[in-house]
Amino acid sequence: MKSLNGVKFAEMVQMGSHHLYQNADYVDALNVFPVPDGDTGTNMNLSMTSGAKETEAHAQEHIGKTASALSKGLLMGARGNSGVILSQLFRGFGKFIADEQELSAKKLAHALQHGVETAYKAVMKPVEGTILTVAKDAAAKGMSLADSEEDIIVLFEAIVTESKASLERTPDLLPVLKEVGVVDSGGQGLVYVYEGFLASLKGEALPEKHVDNSMDELVSAEHHKNIAGFMNTEDIEFGYCTEFMVKFEDGKRSFNEAAFRTDLSAYGDSLLVISDDEIAKIHIHSEEPGKVLTYGQEYGSLISMKIENMRQQHTDIVGEGHKKTAAVEEAKHPYAIVTVAMGEGVAELLRSIGASYVIEGGQTMNPSTEDIVNAVRSIGAERVLILPNNKNIIMAAEQAAELLDIEAAVVPTKDVPQGMSALLAFNPEAAVADNQQAMGDAIKHVKSGSVTFAVRDTSIDGVSIKKDDFMGISEGKIVVSDESLEKVTEELCKKLVDADAEIVTILFGEDVSEADAEKLGAFIESLNGDVEVEIHNGKQPLYPYILAVE
């Protein structure tokens, strides 16, 4: 193959996205920390799915315009650090070929190299042994062949081979990967994308994944997106969540997943399809579920059907909390603070100390760049500060700030305690830059701790961890693990609360009683008789305790 046009590139994107989607749970499992919010695969999958959806909608012969559509979709859908870096890789790629009708092998290599350079510039402190390294090594291999190899397929075979080799080298560059015995999760996600690209170029099929629980996880992620706090019930365009399985039958229409997916996309959004040789499992939000089921019957018999009215669900679930949020949205803010949190109690606490808008998310579900942009725009603010409260959301927040057409800045808070500390330092009379500086300084004076549970056996930072045991995390580092929640929490407090501590804030989660939280408060006072303890019901999932020590 000597040239690549936009239509073929769009097919590559679809297959790359599909291959990543099929293996997203494996990418999730590669996350180093055994915490339940290891979601690199989910984030990359949702980012790439956004890019693929935009590409499919705007695919044309002109490859520059098709690549531009991919760039736009990825940019708005980017979530998590790896998702943002993925968006930057193809943003640089798209800019380099913006005016190209078709690509040669040489031009393709240079475009990938330009994407790598764009991604490195977007990261303040690039870390080798990550997706960046895999992308860089793969592009370098392409560049080494650019002047001698005219066949695009041969060139891309070499790129994929090098990306896999680079991925295997990531533990040599990042000691924490070697300690845990895994390769980099983001790099693995990129390899899946490139493998999909190559399979499309060669006209080969990739192994289909059997129907399993990953559909449930993806459906959960899709629903989580749609139930974000800024969405009004009347904003739900497709009102019926429709799930069913088709058992293929002889004499019925021959199943082709790509064509099936394309046809179904006309009936709604949030479409997910998983299939094997015998069955397909479908999830779609549609206004006409009857037509969706009728279409499915063209391929075989329907089983395990479920149709839910999402407008009614949204009203029931969000309820009063949504009304409060909506009231906030209706108010116009000359100066607003948008932040991110998981847990109704945590969100209420953040609003009480100055947050204008709290995006539901954080652990297990990082909001996308588009989520953040939409939240800010819904407020109608003239100036905004964004507090991500999670290290994996910082890059998406910075990307959102660049896209906004108002004065915007990010205070890089890595957790809720830092977000609380930053909010308390906000001065409504000060300029955005001055507030960014002051709030950034404030987060240096709070120590953060949290307790969660392990999702797998591992050993990290010298701490042996067993699946389902509790872990105490101080400043992002696992410092203690045990099957006893009380023991872990008290050991964590011993490390956080010293003689200089003045105030300790306890946010207890949805699985902890107020009595247990008060007992913990008494323990903290026994460590330092001068410390003031504040206890709040954060109602956060997954994390029994979040602690802020000032």
Q: Which of 316, 347, 372 is the last residue of a domain?
A: 316
The answer to the question of residue 221 being in a domain is: no
The answer to the question of residue 110 being in a domain is: yes
The answer to the question of residue 39 being in a domain is: yes
CATH number for the domain that contains residue 277:
3.30.70.260
Is residue 180 domain-shared with residue 80, that is, in the same domain? yes
If one counts the domains in the chain, the total is: 4
The answer to the question of residue 414 being in a domain is: yes
Q: Which domain does 56 fall in, by range?
A: 3-202
Q: Which of 418, 443, 468 is the last residue of a domain?
A: 443
pLDDT at 242: 84
In the chain, the amino acid numbered 505 is: T
Q: How many CA atoms lie within 13 A of 489 on its CB side?
A: 24
Task: Print burial letters for 8-18: b (CB count within 10 Å at least 16), e (below 16).
Answer: bbbbbbbbbbb
Token pair of 214, please? Answer: 């990953």
Is residue 497 domain-shared with residue 378, that is, in the same domain? no
Q: 3-state DSSP call for residue 392?
A: coil
Is residue 255 domain-shared with residue 385, that is, in the same domain? no
Is residue 437 domain-shared with residue 469, that is, in the same domain? no
Is residue 31 domain-shared with residue 150, that is, in the same domain? yes
Q: Which of 443, 460, 490 is the last residue of a domain?
A: 443
DSSP per position, 446-461 = -EEEEEEE-SS-EEET
Q: Using N-to-C axis directions, what is the helix angle for 80-96 and 185-202, rounded to 10°?
A: 40
Token pair of 318, please? Answer: 């969000």
Is residue 249 domain-shared with residue 373, that is, in the same domain? no
The answer to the question of residue 25 being in a domain is: yes
- Cα(170)–Cα(130) distance, integer angstroms: 7
pLDDT at 163: 97
- Cα(32)–Cα(392) distance, integer angstroms: 14
pLDDT block averages, 10 residues each, the chain of length 550: 95 94 87 76 91 92 96 91 93 96 97 96 88 97 96 97 97 89 93 96 78 52 46 69 85 86 81 73 83 91 78 59 44 82 92 92 83 91 94 93 94 95 93 95 94 88 89 92 96 93 94 94 93 93 93
- Nearest 5°: phi and psi at 405? -100, 25
For residue range 155-186, what is the model confidence (pLDDT) as tens digits? 999 999 999 999 999 999 998 888 888 899 99
Is residue 472 domain-shared with residue 501, that is, in the same domain? yes
CATH number for the domain that contains residue 10:
1.25.40.340
Place of tokens 């990010």: 410
Strand 532-537, strand 545-549: pairing: unpaired
Is residue 366 domain-shared with residue 459, that is, in the same domain? no
pTM for the structure as a whole: 0.73
Is residue 468 domain-shared with residue 544, that is, in the same domain? yes
pLDDT at 274: 67
pLDDT at 25: 83
Q: Which of 448, 488, 546, 180 is nearest to 480 (CA)?
A: 488
Q: 3-state DSSP call for residue 97?
A: coil
* Cα–Cα distance list, 142 to 14, 366, 384 (Å): 22, 33, 42
Strand 300-309, strand 240-248: pairing: antiparallel
pLDDT at 315: 64
For residue range 226-279, what is the model confidence (pLDDT) as tens digits? 444 445 566 677 888 888 888 888 889 998 887 887 788 888 877 777 667 777
The answer to the question of residue 484 being in a domain is: yes
Q: Which residues contact 385 (CB under 8 A, 6 or more apart)?
A: 336, 337, 338, 408, 409, 410, 411, 426, 432, 435, 436, 439
Q: Which of 101, 89, 273 is nearest to 193 (CA)?
A: 89
**Environment class of 343 (CB within 10 Å of its CB; exposed 0-12, middle 13-18, buried 19+):** buried
Residue 189: count other Cβ atoms within 10 Å of its Cβ.
Answer: 32
Q: 3-state DSSP call for residue 365?
A: strand
Q: Which residues contact 523 (CB under 8 A, 6 or more apart)?
A: 490, 493
Q: How many CA atoms lie within 13 A of 520 on its CB side?
A: 30
The answer to the question of residue 321 being in a domain is: no
Count of all residues that appear for the chain in the document: 550
First to last CA, the chain: 62
CA geometry: angle 476, 341, 494, nearest 5 deg: 35
Given a contact cutoff of 8 angstroms between Cβ atoms, the answer to whether 390 and 366 are in contact is: yes
Q: 3-state DSSP call for residue 165?
A: helix
The answer to the question of residue 131 being in a domain is: yes
Is residue 279 domain-shared with residue 349, that is, in the same domain? no
CATH number for the domain that contains residue 490:
3.30.1180.10
Q: Which of 84, 93, 19, 92 is nearest to 63 (CA)?
A: 93
Is residue 414 domain-shared with residue 473, that is, in the same domain? no
- Cα(347)–Cα(364) distance, integer angstroms: 16
Is residue 37 domain-shared with residue 61, that is, in the same domain? yes
